[in-house]
Amino acid sequence: MTLVHCGNCMQGLSQHVKRTRELREVLFWLLLLGSWQLLAAPGKTNAALGAVGTAIFLVFAWWNLGKLTRLGLVYASWRPTTGSGWVVAALSGLIAGAVIYTVGSAIGQNMMLSDDWRIVVLQLTLGPLLEELVFRGYLFALLAWLFRRLARHLVFEWLITVTAAVIFAVVHLAQPGVSFLQLACITSSGTLYGWIRHRWGSTAPAAAAHAIYNLTLYVAVGVAAFHE
């Protein structure tokens, strides 16, 4: 076997390994977006397939924390974190949800929650994860590039966090009936997720906090309805 032939073999092997690694990122997006589409589509079969796909995706996403670095996913910052990071994320989501529900109930504000189980599943799983990947992942990376020369480190971090939270809130204006108070709550919660993202360097705990925030609202509304 010549050296040239060996070199060609190694190059082919390297390309094969690269394609195999990229397959992981492709599967990540296919499972996420495919499950979302199935859950949002009408029909019991689509809903069932979407629920199964969501479960598979969550396991896949957890298993691949810190491994998704190709096809632009490095900017999404889907990385593992410490035990304290998960605990703080969970407690932050729980407390924020309880506070928002208490304030909203006190002034008679509609929580705008769905009674369709498919939408509930989306809002507790794929929705928070995708939103954090976009707003605390890709948008953070873009803002970091834009603001890097404008402020010192501490101010720089908060500038990114608050700007991303405001954009996050403004995007929700696409939903009908969003009030000023709801925008303020979305901005506040978005700032919280951004702080978690900065503190632990990962969108994963931010997504966990977001999901638990939504879950807290659903549980609080359900408990209140049960006691009426």
Read off the pLDDT of residues 116-129 as tens digits, 9 standing for 90 and up: 999 999 999 999 99
Structural domain includes residue 209: yes
Structural domain includes residue 27: no
The secondary structure of the chain in percent helix, strand, coil, rounded to multiples of 5, reads: 80, 0, 20
Query: Burial, 203: exposed, middle or buried (Cβ in 10 Å; 0-12, 13-18, 19+)?
Result: buried
| Residue among 63, 71, 200 nearest 138 (CA) | 71
- Average pLDDT for residues 37-61, to the nearest whole number? 96
Structural domain includes residue 80: yes
For residue 11, what pLDDT band results from cuts at 50, 70 and 90?
A: low
Give the per-residue pLDDT at 145. Answer: 86
- Our count of domains for the chain comes to 1
Alpha-carbon distance of 169 to 31, in angstroms, equals: 26
Alpha-carbon distance of 145 to 142, in angstroms, equals: 5
Structural domain includes residue 211: yes
Alpha-carbon distance of 219 to 59, in angstroms, equals: 24
Give the per-residue pLDDT at 224. Answer: 83
pTM for this prediction: 0.87
Structure confidence by residue, pLDDT tens digits, 103-117: 988 887 777 788 899
Asked if 73 and 51 count as a contact pair (C-beta separation under 8 A), the reply is no
- Average pLDDT for residues 26-47, to the nearest whole number? 96
Structural domain includes residue 79: yes
Neighbour tally for 206: CB within 10 Å: 34
Alpha-carbon distance of 4 to 1, in angstroms, equals: 8
Structural domain includes residue 50: no
Query: Burial, 75: exposed, middle or buried (Cβ in 10 Å; 0-12, 13-18, 19+)?
Result: middle
Lowest-confidence region among 55-59, 88-92, 107-111: 107-111
Interacting residues of 207 by C-beta distance below 8 A, sequence separation 6+: 128, 129, 131, 132, 133
- Which residue, chain included where needed, has tokens 């976009």? 134
Structural domain includes residue 192: yes
Lowest-confidence region among 57-66, 68-77, 98-107, 174-183: 174-183
Structural domain includes residue 56: no
Alpha-carbon distance of 160 to 37, in angstroms, equals: 31
Domain containing 119 equals: 72-227
Interacting residues of 73 by C-beta distance below 8 A, sequence separation 6+: 25, 28
